[in-house]
């Protein structure tokens, strides 16, 4: 049987610059080791779709300069407040917001 288990670094290798990446990016149950490896790899120009809403992961990927556009119904750190990198990149016009209502 084909071995399907890979390391976080190997999984991150499948994510290329420009990939449309869907990731559970709210405030819990996120694949943090893979997200860290994606950032370490220096991926850019991701189209990010937050499933369902965006939180810590979305903010981290945006702040690391990995994301060109974000599709989301909401990006927020829940009780911890506004997502600072999402704010910074949106307010300076460096992030294309494809916002769903």
Size of the site for other proteins (CB under 8 A): 22
- Sheet with strand 20-24: strands edge to edge: 20-24, 46-51, 67-72, 96-99
Which residues touch 60 (CB under 8 Å, ≥6 apart)? 35, 39, 85
Least distance CB 47 / other proteins (angstroms): 17
Cα dihedral across residues 29, 30, 32, 33: positive or negative: positive
Subset of residues 24 to 63 that bind other proteins, contact rule: CB under 8 A? 52-53
Residue of the chain from 6, 14, 32, 82 that contacts other proteins (CB under 8 A): 82
Residue of the chain from 16, 17, 40, 99 that contacts other proteins (CB under 8 A): 99
| 79: DSSP letter | G
**Can you give the binding site for other proteins, defined by CB under 8 A?**
52-53, 72-76, 78-80, 82-83, 86-87, 90-93, 97, 99-101
């Amino acid at each position: 049987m084909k071995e399907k288990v890979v390391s976080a670094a190997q999984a991150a290798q499948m994510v290329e610059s420009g990939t449309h990446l869907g990731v559970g990016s709210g405030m819990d149950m996120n694949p943090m080791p893979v997200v860290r490896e994606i950032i370490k790899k220096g991926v850019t120009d991701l189209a990010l779709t937050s499933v369902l809403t965006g939180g810590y992961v979305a903010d981290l990927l945006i702040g690391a300069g990995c994301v060109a556009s974000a599709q989301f119904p909401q990006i927020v750190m829940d009780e911890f407040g506004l997502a600072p990198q999402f704010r910074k990149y949106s307010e300076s016009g460096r992030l294309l917001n494809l916002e769903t209502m």
